[in-house]
Amino acid sequence: MSAGDRVIPDRTMDSSSVPISRLDELHAHIAELVDNPDTPIDARLLDEIELQLTETNIPPLLPTVLVPLTQILRTTGSTTPQDPSPLLSLTTKLLSPLPFSRVLAIADAPSLLSALASPLAGANLLALTILHKAARSPADAAILSTLPDLVEALVTRWLDAQDVGVGERAGKVLGDLLETDCDVVADADDARSPHDGGVNGTELVKRRRVPGHGRIWDMIFGSEQLFAIIPSLCRPPPGPERDDDAANSRTARQTSIAQGRLLRLLPRLATINMPAITHTAFPDLIPLPQSLARDTGHGLLQWAALGMVDRSDMLMHLNLIDFFETYVSVMRITDSAPTSSTSVTRCLVKAATANDAQLKESLIVLPDRTVEEEAEPLRIYIEQLLN
């Protein structure tokens, strides 16, 4: 080779052979956290390690790093209020190349049930991270459907979690699972919005081209035992709370939180599978006045929008208004045949605004608070609903 020849470095080297900087420090830090949970979490170290991880160098770390990390996450917060986010982020990266079936071999169903039932946010978030992997494909969602106790625990944790981050994460996981599992696939031209973003803070669901198996939908909406969890956690306390029964009764605040979470998820579910949330096999669990059910139909959507919320509660009334604004905006975009497919929405809006001037006014002025290119179509759509 002449002196003028350039030496080109070999970039085909297996990245798994490249040493991970500060790996020994990570092992020592993890061991210290296992032995003494009060040890401050070295977020910078964890972040540096995470940035170096690839699909090829992760597998050798799983036996020595992933197992103790999950152990730490399941106990973080029991003795000290440390933020588990750095640990969770690294654990999520380690889990990223693994399919759901492989993760279940590491963290089995009983362990996940225990983590979901834990009062510790770190344990909850770890379990939710693992369950979220089942949303990757219909086949993975089908595997989760064979574990009904886990689906039930997910629905319960979504509505009853005290930690805001856990509740939001559980709602995201449940929504993604139901999207992947849905066996209804819309036509290619159904999505009419030019935007990939959200409407009024809610993510618009991109239309799927591959149908799911519908098993998780059937489990949640077709099993009386599982479906009953939703109204039981969203129904207001039957009477004044008694101090001597505080441990066994849900407070009005807990109920309001659950109602808010249900109202935030329903617009997304409406874009995925409207029939499932507008019809029910268990009307006694979500009661509506007979005349109202006759006019609007009877399902979880109608109950949540018309029968669940105490409108004398100012905060919940505002949440309900926000729900209708989001729901109407989303349906305007996703409805492919407005003259026929908006009948449920039209009946719902008319019933809700009949005796609620504040809600009606909020919907009328909603286009004024919408992006310019969407304002006029939304204004026309709302006028059609109200008239």
pLDDT at 19: 84
DSSP calls for 22-59: THHHHHHHHHHHHH-TTSPP-HHHHHHHHHH--TTTSG
Instruction: Give the CA diameter of the chain.
Output: 92
Q: How far apart are CA 22 and CA 52, in angstroms?
A: 10
pLDDT at 195: 41
CB hemisphere CA count around 221 (13 angstroms): 19
**What is the identity of the amino acid at 160?**
D
Q: How far apart are CA 114 and CA 102, in angstroms?
A: 19
Q: Which residue has the tokens 């319960």?
A: 156
Q: How far apart are CA 320 and CA 206, in angstroms?
A: 25
Structure tokens at 234: 């969203």
Task: Grade residue 188 by pLDDT with cuts at 50, 70 and 90.
Answer: very low
Task: Grade residue 8 by pLDDT with cuts at 50, 70 and 90.
Answer: very low
CB-CB contact of 85 with 121 (8 Å) = no
Specify the pTM: 0.86
**What is the identity of the amino acid at 361?**
E
Q: How far apart are CA 303 and CA 289, in angstroms?
A: 10
In this structure, the number of other CB atoms found within 10 A of the CB of residue 160 comes to 19
Mean pLDDT for the stretch of residues 178-195: 68
SS3 309: coil
pLDDT at 2 exceeding the cut of 60: no
Mean pLDDT for the stretch of residues 268-274: 95
Task: Grade residue 105 by pLDDT with cuts at 50, 70 and 90.
Answer: confident
Of the candidates 231, 233, 253, 249, the one whose C-alpha atom is nearest the C-alpha of residue 241 is: 249
Structure tokens at 5: 């020849």
**What is the identity of the amino acid at 158?**
W
Q: Which residue has the tokens 């940035």?
A: 51
Structure tokens at 218: 């059937």
- Strand 198-199 with 202-203, pairing: antiparallel
pLDDT tens, residue by residue, 106-121: 888 998 999 999 988 8
Q: Which of 6-20, 113-127, 335-349 has the lowest mean pLDDT?
A: 6-20
CB-CB contact of 256 with 316 (8 Å) = yes
pLDDT at 14 exceeding the cut of 50: no
pLDDT at 194 exceeding the cut of 50: no
Continuous H helices in 146-186: 148-160, 164-181
pLDDT at 57 exceeding the cut of 80: yes
Mean pLDDT for the stretch of residues 315-324: 97
CB hemisphere CA count around 370 (13 angstroms): 26
pLDDT at 110: 92
Question: 64-98 burial by CB neighbour count: b if 16+ within 10 A, else e?
Answer: ebbeebbebbbbbbeeeebebebbbebbbbbbeeb
Handedness of CA 164, 29, 63, 16 (dihedral sign): positive
